[in-house]
């Protein structure tokens, strides 16, 4: 019987099995040495009992030619030429060592880890938990301690590695969550694509789109649509509002327009041809330029309705000074000179017509004046004034306000007198224009001896007559008198009896 000393040991759970491995291996090594023939020793025979120093025994009947078993009924240790194992009959914890591979298995009956000369078994996890990365303190090959720190973390669920600082060339990195600086390279040519993310905060992947590009050669950012307030944009395709800048400098500016009616996004155009409609802000002048090769340029107002509200009004000085073209009906147009006539020189002092035809002025549906190449045809006033006879003075009247006519009719009826009456003076209208001729149709409705005598002389200052003897208008008689102003204070008076 051979004996040797061995320490007491316990093969326990997975947290202690690795720590006890060294002690167990030492014990087994001692047992194997005891089984070897030694100088001056007795070879252990099968069916013998091996007694250890602590009093425990090893039953050699369980030792086959290829395997040694050490057990206390719960914990087992086996060794043979291919494997060394340690297990128990309670929770399935075990260690297997295969020297021929070589490799070591560690298991709890459910999960197995393997360590061999090339590395160790890894397990996949997607748990949303914080894990810590293992690293070594030796950058070369060989033996080094495996270490970890709370400064380097990994979350398998979010696929996020977190550390305070990253150093190196992250050519394939999709996220740099805490990076605050990056190297900028300036380019002047080529087309590039701006990057963006799917969220406004946190670690996000950088994305790009073929629909958003930047041309470094022309400094042009291109996409289909822009939304928001482009307060400093110089070009915008579908802007709702544009910035306005005041400019009163002298120059020729072209008015923008669109080619179709209705709302929506439309391009603006200008006419910069030979008949362009332009504006000069310095002089507040709207110009429609016409050249000899294009003499038909015109500014046209078209009223396609039956309303009378459309008008072209040229206002000067105030709202009461204007020239206005106003439709009377859908097919008629009137030219109105309204308000106070300006008195400033060179303002509306003349109207010139250049035409081979007649120019007709119509009022109330009637032609009142026609200007033609052969002369002017006028329709005189259809109203008339009533002359006044008081005592021996005949007073002729004119219109109540300017302009005062050059031809105006007066009428007077003498009645109620039974005695003769005499006209010894004539009062001339104060505002009678030079070359004006006022006439007066007289009716004598007096009775008895009421004849009317018109003196031939002494009718008033500056009044001359065309007759040398007094003219008598008999009872129930008629006469036509005319007063013509031939100078600033010279008048010719004439009277004729009417049969």
- Domain extents in the chain: 14-120, 307-347, 385-498
The whole-number pLDDT of residue 444 equals 95
Q: What are the backbone angles phi and psi of residue 409, rounded to the nearest 5°?
A: -100, 135
Average pLDDT over residues 416-437: 94
pTM exceeding 0.95: no
Average pLDDT over residues 429-454: 94
The whole-number pLDDT of residue 299 equals 63
* Cα distance between residue 415 and residue 448, in whole Å: 11
Average pLDDT over residues 6-16: 39
The whole-number pLDDT of residue 459 equals 97
Exposed / middle / buried, residue 383 (Cβ in 10 Å: 0-12, 13-18, 19+): exposed
pLDDT exceeds cutoff 80 at 447: yes
What are 292-303's pLDDT values in tens digits?
455 556 666 665
The whole-number pLDDT of residue 482 equals 97
C-beta of residue 62 within 8 angstroms of C-beta of residue 51: no
The whole-number pLDDT of residue 366 equals 77
pLDDT exceeds cutoff 90 at 421: yes
pLDDT exceeds cutoff 90 at 458: yes
The CB density around residue 387, as the number of other CB atoms within 10 Å, is 21
Q: Which of the two residues, 107 and 18, has the higher pLDDT score? A: 107
Q: 15 CB contacts (<8 Å, ≥6 apart)? A: none
The whole-number pLDDT of residue 465 equals 97
* Least-confidence region, from 124-133, 326-335, 488-497: 326-335
Q: Nearest to residue 275, comparing CAs of 265, 289, 261? A: 289
C-beta of residue 49 within 8 angstroms of C-beta of residue 33: no
- How does residue 105 score in pLDDT terms, banded at 50, 70 and 90? confident
């Amino acid at each position: 019987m051979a004996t040797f000393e061995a320490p007491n040991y316990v093969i326990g759970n997975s947290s202690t099995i690795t720590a006890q491995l060294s002690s167990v291996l030492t014990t087994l090594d001692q047992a194997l040495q005891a089984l070897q023939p030694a100088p001056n020793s007795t070879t252990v025979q099968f069916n013998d009992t091996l007694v250890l120093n602590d009093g425990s025994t090893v039953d050699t009947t369980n030792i086959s030619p290829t395997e040694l078993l050490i057990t206390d009924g719960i914990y087992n240790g086996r060794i043979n030429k291919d494997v060394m194992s340690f297990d128990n009959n309670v929770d399935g914890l075990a260690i297997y060592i295969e020297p021929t591979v070589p490799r070591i298995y560690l298991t709890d009956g459910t999960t197995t880890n393997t360590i061999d000369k090339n590395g160790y078994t890894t397990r996949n996890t997607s748990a949303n938990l914080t894990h810590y990365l293992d690293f070594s303190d030796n950058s070369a090959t060989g033996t080094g301690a495996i270490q970890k720190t709370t400064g380097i973390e990994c979350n398998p669920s979010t696929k996020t590695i977190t550390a305070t600082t990253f150093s190196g060339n992250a050519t394939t990195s999709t996220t740099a969550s805490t990076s605050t600086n990056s190297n900028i390279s300036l380019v002047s040519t080529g087309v590039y694509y701006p990057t963006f993310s799917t969220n406004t905060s946190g670690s996000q992947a950088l994305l790009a789109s073929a629909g958003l590009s930047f041309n470094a050669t022309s400094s042009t950012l291109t996409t289909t649509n822009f939304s928001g307030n482009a307060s400093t944009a110089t070009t915008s395709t579908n802007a709702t509002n544009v910035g306005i800048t005041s400019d009163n400098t002298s120059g020729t500016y072209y008015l923008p327009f669109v080619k179709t009616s209705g709302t929506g996004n439309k391009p603006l155009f200008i006419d910069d041809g030979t008949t362009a409609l332009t504006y000069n802000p310095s002089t507040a002048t709207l110009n429609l330029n016409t050249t000899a090769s294009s003499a038909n340029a015109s500014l046209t107002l078209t009223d396609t309705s039956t309303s009378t509200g459309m008008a072209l009004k040229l206002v000067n000085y105030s709202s009461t000074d204007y020239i206005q073209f106003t439709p009377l009906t859908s097919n008629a147009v009137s030219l109105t000179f309204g308000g106070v006539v300006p008195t400033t020189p060179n303002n509306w002092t003349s109207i010139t017509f250049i035409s081979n035809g007649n120019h007709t002025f119509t009022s109330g549906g009637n032609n009142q004046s026609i200007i033609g190449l052969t002369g002017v045809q006028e329709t005189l006033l259809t109203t008339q004034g009533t002359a006044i006879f008081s005592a021996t003075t005949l007073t002729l009247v004119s219109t109540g306000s300017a302009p005062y006519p050059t031809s105006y009719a007066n009428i007077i009826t003498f009645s109620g007198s039974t005695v003769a009456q005499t006209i010894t003076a004539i009062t001339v209208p104060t505002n009678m224009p030079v070359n004006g001729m006022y006439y007066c149709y007289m009716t004598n409705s007096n009775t008895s001896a009421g004849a009317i005598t018109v003196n031939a002389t002494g009718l008033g200052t500056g009044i001359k007559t065309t007759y040398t003897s007094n003219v008598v208008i008999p009872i129930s008689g008629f006469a036509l008198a005319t007063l013509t102003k031939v100078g600033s204070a010279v008048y010719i008076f004439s009277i004729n009896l009417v049969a």
